[in-house]
Structure 1
Amino acid sequence: MQKTERNYAGPVTEVVFNRTKLEFSKFWSQVNIKAEKVMFEWGLLLLAVGFLLGRALILTKIMPFALPFIATVYMMKREKTGIVVLAVLAGAFSISVQNGGFILASIVMFLIFNRLSHIIDVDEFKKLPFTIFFTMLFTKLSMFYLLTKQLGSYDALFASVEAGLSFILTMIFLQSVPLLSNKKNRQSLKTEEVICLIILLASVLTGTIGWEVYGLSFEHILSRYLVLVFAFVAGATVGSTVGVVTGLILSLANVASLYEMSLLAFSGLLGGLLKDGKKFGTSIGLLIGTSLIGLYGQNNQILSVNLYESIAAVLLFLLTPNVWIRKVGRLIPGTNENTVEQQQYLRKIRDVTATRVEQFSNVFDALSKSFSQNGLYEETQSETRDIDFFLSNVTERTCQLCFKKEQCWAYQFDKTYDYMKGIMQGIEQGTLQQNTRLLREMDKHCVKANKVVDVIEQEYTFFQANQKLKQQIRESRRIVAEQLSGVSQVMQNFAQEIKRERENLHIQEEQILEVLKNFGIEVNQIEIYSLEQGNVDIDMWTPFCNGRGECEKLIAPMLSDILGETIVVKREECASYPQGYCHVSFGSTKAYVIETGVAHAAKGGGFVSGDSYATLELNSGKYAVAISDGMGNGERAHYESHETLQLLRQILQTGIEETIAIKSVNSILSLRTNDEVFSTLDLAIIDLQDANSKFLKIGSTPSFVKRGDKVIRIQANNLPMGIIEDFEVDVVSEQLKAGDLLIMMTDGIFEGPKHVENHDMWMKRKISELQTSDPQEVADLIMEEVIRTRSGMIEDDMTVVVAKIQHNIPKWSSIPALSYKKKAL
């Protein structure tokens, strides 16, 4: 029997490799954590910096670095002061006993001056630079006097310069030392913090002056390494800045290294320009800069030494883990790493916000259901319970002391209950006196029949008031439930908008950016929030255009061709100075636009009309036209109609669905008013993308749509607002077309013509006879025609609103983007 052999070497090797890779990743992560603990928590980084700053000199005599560093650590990390002082003293004594003694004396004097400064009630961090200044000045002058037994003007100038440098360095170290003593992850550094950090690092490098390995200078290698890191991370601007600052400080410490500033600055510039070539590109920039600057030397030996030092810096740079470089990049504003970090932070904030909004939405939804279910339960149980309470109060005043109580309620409960309930219903309906049969039977059944009827009539007054109050409470609960449901839906939609993910649009951003650049349009940044058809949302930052309108005339037409729909400028914030950037928001234009015309007149030609009208564009891409007619005329009618539209406007703008908005307005009005003052509402909501329209008519007259020679009547049957608390809104839908005229009017216009039997036919005929399509002219002609039939008299408030639906024709035609493939989007 032949055996089949299978080779498992491939899968086993792959599993072993993946496991080894995972274990190495865990090991490296643990190493990083332990290294951070040693460097930050144990203070090893502060120890090394302190030692080098203790050795740092300017012009081989001035020592302005040590005391500001010690004082800053003393103020911010007092528990690390001891090891820092030892490290600084060790560095100072490694140069000379005199330098070590001066640092030791200055530390003692600082403690004395710092204690004396407590008598001044000023913030400690604000007075620290002044304390350092006077400490250094006093210590230096004292040492000069002890050594020479005299003080000259040169000595005073020298001491003042050193004290002044210490003053400045103290303010710099207050910004940069926290970065060395705290491992807490930060989002980014401020620009001044970056500069302070660079100065601190350059100051530390001065402590390595004099260290050499095979003739190669440590400060040159480390300074070039520092320039390489910043040029690779932040580009040419930061790289050249680091080179200038580092070279300047090193040249102050050693005048022979003055040329080093030029080399570092030029190498930082070239390295930053070539950073797209990754680490090798930045390294080549340093080598080219070294070669060019080295040519100024007097012999080939200087050039070769410089090249060796640059090669050593490049090797050190290439061996630096990318993880460490990315951590540096996250701290510097404007870098890719910092941008990604900021986006991740903003994404976390966005997710948290969306979650909170969803939680609030769920809370509002639960509250709405609670109110609704509670109200429904009470409505089913309330009637029987209220009647029982009513009859209980009646029997307490009549039957409680009657000698036939037990006979009536114990043996004839149902009969007694039915009689009393029948009397109550008769009083409620006003038919009790006509129901002689019930009164006669009650008289036979009860010995106190007349008293019972009187008490029922008295109690019914209170019962009726109580029922009305309970009805208002139930209505209030229903209003609250509907409002909470609407708010819950709006918040849910808002949460979905917040959670809209932008990562999937990065490719489209790069593609659009490439198209615009190929066309010759410079764009600094582009952010796409939505590419949904009809709901495009794009933000761009473009250079200052000096009012030439490039965004409207060029970019928007190009985006229209790219996206296949008309794109326009929604908002534009121009830069306030020529070197700035303009912020422009692009969005989809609507397929239709609405042009309106209004004509209105008050009764008798007065100034105050009971009619009100409103036109508004909603955030959902819809356009609303509304007319409200208050009952009667004058100020009160005007107030009711105006208040109706104002409430409706505010509710619609929140995004709540139209029928819920109208029900809410109706409920508020019905609860608010005590007298019979009502108002009608005629609302048309037109979708500007497809011209589909909804008509909600609450006690209003018909509306008409004129389409060529054809006139369409739109009517719905609903009572005016405020009459009843609960009603169903009848919604009529109609598909409008470009060129249609929508004519809405109040009863003063519709029923205004005198001696007309069929107002509907008369209005249709007049509309069909119109020879103009201008909305304002149509409104004026209809108003004039109605007034003519009344011989110039205005017997009621009149309002007519005409809306014309038209295609939205863009101002600028699209510009073909030939290099762009649309199917990429």
Structure 2
Amino acid sequence: MQKAERNLIEPIGEVNFERPKLELAKILHKFQVKLEYIFIKKGYLLLFIGFLLGRALILAKLTPFSLPFFAAVYFLRRDRAPLALIGLVGGAATLSLKIAAVTFVVVFLFLFCFRISKKWLKNEMKALPFYVFSILLIGKTAESFVFSGQVTLYDGMMSGIEASLGFILTLIFLQSIPLLTITKRRQSLKTEEIVCLIIMLASIMTGTIGWSVYDLSVEHIMSRYLVLLFSFVAGATVGSTVGVVTGLIFSLANVSSFYHMSLLAFAGLLGGLLKEGKKTGVAIGLFIATLLIGMYGEGSGTLTKTLLESTSAVLLFFLTPTILTSKLAVYIPGTPEYAAEQQQYMRKMRDVTAQRVAQFSNVFQALSKSFTSLDQVEADEDSNDRELDYFLSNVTEKTCQTCFKKEHCWTRNFNTTYDYMKEIMHEIEEGSGAVSQKLYRDWEKHCTRSKKVLEVIQQELTFYHANQRLKKQVQESRKLVADQLLGVSEVMEDFAKEIQRERENHYKQEEHILEALQSFGIQIEHVEIYNLEQGNVDIEMTIPNCRGHGECEKLIAPMLSDILGETIVVNTEECSTVPNEFCYVTFRSAKAYTVETGVAYAAKDGGLVSGDSYSTIELGFGKYAIAISDGMGNGERAHYESKETLQLLQKILQSGIEEKVAIKSVNSVLSLRTTDEIFSTLDLAMIDLQNASAKFLKIGSAPSFIKRDSKIIKIDSSNLPIGILQDFEVDVVSEQLKAGDLLIMMSDGVFEGPKHVENYDFWMKRKIQELQTDDPQQIADLIMEEVIRSRAGFIEDDMTVVVAKIKHNTPKWASIPVQAYKERA
């Protein structure tokens, strides 16, 4: 009903062309499935191939194709071997009954010998060619003896040639038959498989020698059609190879067809070169080759016939459905269809990998939630009232359980007794183990064992507090584990998104950039664009050896800056030492800010090993980290602790985990790693190079200072050193930096180093205020010198100063206008 109404609503005279196309596509699909079922699954294709190979000849008298084909089919598709035998005998019978009988006898002899010796064979596939060689050599020699009564040297040579050809053809058929009988194939064709397939197809077409339609040779039409097909699908290389191989086999079968090899090879080359013109271009290539090679014929009649054969091949080629050529192109390396198939495969692998990583991320997230929810449940269940009930139960079990007034106190006056004991417990907690006189007198009137109850409450409070501390540590540890698991989950989730971010195709942009640079006179070998996102450009280039002239930094990067509309700089450059080799250069977006650092440090008493460690590193996601760690004490052990702290923190930060979670993880590792009282301070500054925002995380460290013109900003926090507590809250101080700011970070040996100074803050701010330079290294040296001078040259503690200057990232070279690119754009 709905279908009829829809048809009525359609405008009169408007024709729907989609339905006939869909119906035609369905009919063609059903026809294709039916043909595949009949010829491939039922095996009738092997019958047809066997018929053509059975009548194929080499040198006008040798039939080396029959036994290799049957042996390969028998080994690969044993259930279809009878069909292959019928086809071979039938094809041989079209030549003569004698050849048919010989074919049958040779096949029977092969089956007899192979089945008898099969149980002694370890590898049938390797032995198969030798069986074919031996049977053909014996069979053909016996044939010469039976029909002529003697075996001449010529007969022996021909038998050896046919046996050798059979040996080679067996190897070829073992590789090529699966390509014709397997409907679903995922792997690409190897070079040897392509050659084997071509040889087999040419051998099959040899069986059409002598056939003609309206005086046109069928083998010439089919061979040219084969060359057209492969030239169109795979290009000039494979097309010319098909032409040479097919022409060579035809010339072996019929010496008069030798010139045909030149025509096929030339047609394959021209057709492959003109494949950009689609089927028409390939057909033009065949006609050009036909005209040029056909002129060597025996007059205009031969040329006309050759042109008609080429025209017939072209008609067959144009009638070939696109689905067949596309399906064939998928398996041949180098074709766009093959590249698309490989890209699709890589996309599937990428999606599977991203899905697995996302699943792991969900697992870690679920584990984090389970730890968090468990803490919440415990916080709800272990409320103050419940804990108090447990505590009082333990007290009454040791005191009231054996008292004769138990029933009076806990049955008749439960609330009064409970409130008294509760109040006693609170006063002992708050009053350092003592209760007020009034409460003591009231309790003494109420309880006959008042003194013992007070003693037991004091004892139980010790265990109660210890238990509370343990539970709190367990909850804090669970919270830490939950935070760490959540951090890992977020990193893996981001990684899954990065995997799914497919490299975009920037072929046009690559061509435009290549043309623009070459038009400027710069020789570029190859351009590869991975990302054109603003602020995240990633381009790789291959250029000839610049011999140290700096073309990449001075010319190419400024031109790319003009083309892309943002500052582009050289990220990495690998120049070859050999003059004729290439240089490989990576160009990236320039950061908005840069950080210039200076460091000064000294060990206690002028020693060689300092207990302080520092690190300055640019992380991979546009952040710059500056860290100072001060190990407890001095010497080797302190240096080891501070260095381990920074190395562990650096690795965790580089993985992408948030700063707070990273510091908590480091603290957890250090606090659980050893029972020794070895602690470290940590002073961390994370600077975003895109907007100059900074985060400061200070764990037991000295204050830091920011000098902005004449203004001094102090950055401080009050966290304990790392490793003392298993869990603590990390205070994050955020500050917006500006270009020209000086960030001064120091260990406590520098901050508390000046002698006879009561206010270290005021002294340090004054020294920084008096600085007459903005060079980071000079500032670090001057501060270190002032502190040591105030101590009369003595260094009483390890000292480290790190100074960082925030600067706008001004490119060294200005952008160069590229007019050619702008005109094209």
Matched with 1:616 is 617
Matched with 1:3 is none
Q: Higher mean Cα deviation, 112-121 or 574-583?
A: 574-583
Say whether 1:720 aligns with 2:721: yes
Matched with 1:174 is 174
Q: Higher mean Cα deviation, 103-112 or 307-316?
A: 103-112
Q: What amino acid sits opposite 1:599 in the alignment?
A: A
Q: Higher mean Cα deviation, 421-430 or 246-255?
A: 421-430
Say whether 1:698 aligns with 2:699: yes
Shift of 1:300: 1.6
Provide closer, same or farther for how the CA distance between residues 20 and 119 of structure 1 changes in structure 2, counting only shifts above 3 A.
Answer: closer
Q: What amino acid sits opposite 2:56 in the alignment?
A: A
SS in 2 for 1:95: coil
Provide closer, same or farther for how the CA distance between residues 212 and 680 of structure 1 changes in structure 2, counting only shifts above 3 A.
Answer: same
User: How far apart are the structure 2 equivalents of 1:787 and 1:233?
Assistant: 80
Matched with 1:798 is 799
Shift of 1:284: 0.3
The percent identity for this pair of structures is 62
Superposition map of 1:742-757 within 5 A: 742-757=743-758
Q: What amino acid sits opposite 1:623 in the alignment?
A: Y
- Give yes or no for contact 1:475–1:667 (8 Å, CA) kept in 2: no
Q: What amino acid sits opposite 1:718 in the alignment?
A: N
Q: What amino acid sits opposite 1:778 in the alignment?
A: I
Say whether 1:66 aligns with 2:58: no
Q: Higher mean Cα deviation, 161-170 or 8-17?
A: 8-17
SS in 1 for 2:11: helix
- Give yes or no for contact 2:599–2:777 (8 Å, CA) kept in 1: yes
SS in 2 for 1:358: helix
- Give yes or no for contact 1:274–1:281 (8 Å, CA) kept in 2: yes
SS in 2 for 1:318: helix
User: How far apart are the structure 2 equivalents of 1:646 and 1:284?
Assistant: 69
Matched with 2:346 is 346
SS in 1 for 2:630: strand
Provide closer, same or farther for how the CA distance between residues 328 and 396 of structure 1 changes in structure 2, counting only shifts above 3 A.
Answer: same
SS in 1 for 2:820: coil
Q: Deviations over 1:228-257 (max 9, x none)?
A: 111111211221121112111221222211
User: How far apart are the structure 2 equivalents of 1:130 and 1:455?
Assistant: 99
Shift of 1:513: 5.5
Q: What amino acid sits opposite 2:410 in the alignment?
A: W
SS in 2 for 1:685: strand
Matched with 2:46 is 46
Shift of 1:671: 5.0
Shift of 1:553: 6.9
Q: Deviations over 1:125-173 (max 9, x none)?
A: 3333333333333333333343445444444433333222222222222
Provide closer, same or farther for how the CA distance between residues 156 and 823 of structure 1 changes in structure 2, counting only shifts above 3 A.
Answer: closer
Shift of 1:650: 2.0
- Give yes or no for contact 1:472–1:671 (8 Å, CA) kept in 2: no
User: How far apart are the structure 1 equivalents of 2:209 and 2:580?
Assistant: 41
Provide closer, same or farther for how the CA distance between residues 477 and 36 of structure 1 changes in structure 2, counting only shifts above 3 A.
Answer: farther
User: How far apart are the structure 1 equivalents of 2:812 and 2:651?
Assistant: 32
Superposition map of 1:199-278 within 5 A: 199-278=199-278
Matched with 2:404 is 403
- Give yes or no for contact 2:477–2:727 (8 Å, CA) kept in 1: no
- Give yes or no for contact 1:739–1:806 (8 Å, CA) kept in 2: yes
Provide closer, same or farther for how the CA distance between residues 410 and 663 of structure 1 changes in structure 2, counting only shifts above 3 A.
Answer: same
Matched with 2:114 is 114
- Give yes or no for contact 1:198–1:242 (8 Å, CA) kept in 2: yes
SS in 1 for 2:110: helix
Superposition map of 1:291-370 within 5 A: 291-370=291-370
- Give yes or no for contact 2:525–2:543 (8 Å, CA) kept in 1: yes
Q: What amino acid sits opposite 1:91 in the alignment?
A: G
- Give yes or no for contact 2:545–2:580 (8 Å, CA) kept in 1: no
Shift of 1:179: 1.2
- Give yes or no for contact 2:744–2:803 (8 Å, CA) kept in 1: yes
- Give yes or no for contact 2:626–2:685 (8 Å, CA) kept in 1: yes
Matched with 2:602 is 601
Q: What amino acid sits opposite 2:803 in the alignment?
A: V
Superposition map of 1:463-474 within 5 A: 463-474=464-475
- Give yes or no for contact 2:739–2:806 (8 Å, CA) kept in 1: yes
Provide closer, same or farther for how the CA distance between residues 462 and 672 of structure 1 changes in structure 2, counting only shifts above 3 A.
Answer: farther
Aligned residues, how many? 817
User: How far apart are the structure 1 equivalents of 2:551 and 2:247?
Assistant: 43
Q: Deviations over 1:714-741 (max 9, x none)?
A: 3344343344455443333334344544
Provide closer, same or farther for how the CA distance between residues 598 and 13 of structure 1 changes in structure 2, counting only shifts above 3 A.
Answer: farther
TM-score scaled to structure 1, two decimals?
A: 0.90
Q: Deviations over 1:735-784 (max 9, x none)?
A: 43445443211010111111223323333343344455443343333223
Shift of 1:447: 3.5
SS in 2 for 1:208: coil
User: How far apart are the structure 2 equivalents of 1:494 and 1:483?
Assistant: 17
Say whether 1:482 aligns with 2:465: no
Matched with 1:684 is 685
- Give yes or no for contact 2:547–2:579 (8 Å, CA) kept in 1: no
Superposition map of 1:4-19 within 5 A: 11-14=11-14, 16-19=16-19
Matched with 1:31 is 31
Matched with 1:280 is 280
- Give yes or no for contact 1:537–1:585 (8 Å, CA) kept in 2: yes
Q: Higher mean Cα deviation, 76-85 or 237-246?
A: 76-85
Q: Deviations over 1:474-514 (max 9, x none)?
A: 12211121122222222222232233355675654555466
Matched with 1:819 is 820
Shift of 1:640: 3.4
SS in 2 for 1:587: strand
User: How far apart are the structure 2 equivalents of 1:209 and 1:317?
Assistant: 20
- Give yes or no for contact 2:267–2:290 (8 Å, CA) kept in 1: yes
Provide closer, same or farther for how the CA distance between residues 458 and 716 of structure 1 changes in structure 2, counting only shifts above 3 A.
Answer: closer
Shift of 1:544: 7.3
TM-score scaled to structure 2, two decimals?
A: 0.90
Q: Higher mean Cα deviation, 465-474 or 332-341?
A: 465-474
- Give yes or no for contact 2:504–2:531 (8 Å, CA) kept in 1: no
SS in 1 for 2:262: helix
SS in 2 for 1:472: helix
In structure 2, the gaps of 5 or more residues are 1-6
Provide closer, same or farther for how the CA distance between residues 120 and 760 of structure 1 changes in structure 2, counting only shifts above 3 A.
Answer: farther
User: How far apart are the structure 2 equivalents of 1:654 and 1:643?
Assistant: 17
Shift of 1:675: 5.5
Provide closer, same or farther for how the CA distance between residues 616 and 279 of structure 1 changes in structure 2, counting only shifts above 3 A.
Answer: same
User: How far apart are the structure 2 equivalents of 1:203 and 1:812?
Assistant: 66
Q: Deviations over 1:64-109 (max 9, x none)?
A: 3232222222222222222222222222222222332333233223
Provide closer, same or farther for how the CA distance between residues 700 and 84 of structure 1 changes in structure 2, counting only shifts above 3 A.
Answer: same
- Give yes or no for contact 1:562–1:822 (8 Å, CA) kept in 2: no
- Give yes or no for contact 2:504–2:530 (8 Å, CA) kept in 1: no
Q: Higher mean Cα deviation, 521-530 or 279-288?
A: 521-530
Q: What amino acid sits opposite 1:123 in the alignment?
A: N
- Give yes or no for contact 1:563–1:822 (8 Å, CA) kept in 2: no
Shift of 1:694: 2.1
Shift of 1:582: 8.3
In structure 1, the gaps of 5 or more residues are 1-6
- Give yes or no for contact 1:544–1:577 (8 Å, CA) kept in 2: no
Provide closer, same or farther for how the CA distance between residues 14 and 575 of structure 1 changes in structure 2, counting only shifts above 3 A.
Answer: farther
SS in 1 for 2:595: strand
Q: What amino acid sits opposite 2:301 in the alignment?
A: Q
Provide closer, same or farther for how the CA distance between residues 748 and 406 of structure 1 changes in structure 2, counting only shifts above 3 A.
Answer: same
Provide closer, same or farther for how the CA distance between residues 57 and 425 of structure 1 changes in structure 2, counting only shifts above 3 A.
Answer: farther
Matched with 1:731 is 732
User: How far apart are the structure 2 equivalents of 1:522 and 1:11?
Assistant: 61
User: How far apart are the structure 2 equivalents of 1:382 and 1:334?
Assistant: 69
Provide closer, same or farther for how the CA distance between residues 31 and 588 of structure 1 changes in structure 2, counting only shifts above 3 A.
Answer: farther
Provide closer, same or farther for how the CA distance between residues 405 and 119 of structure 1 changes in structure 2, counting only shifts above 3 A.
Answer: same
Q: What amino acid sits opposite 2:80 in the alignment?
A: K
Q: Deviations over 1:6-34 (max 9, x none)?
A: x9897355463222222223333333333
Matched with 1:138 is 138
User: How far apart are the structure 1 equivalents of 2:284 and 2:579?
Assistant: 35
Provide closer, same or farther for how the CA distance between residues 169 and 490 of structure 1 changes in structure 2, counting only shifts above 3 A.
Answer: same
User: How far apart are the structure 1 equivalents of 2:178 and 2:167?
Assistant: 18
Shift of 1:263: 0.8
Shift of 1:456: 4.2
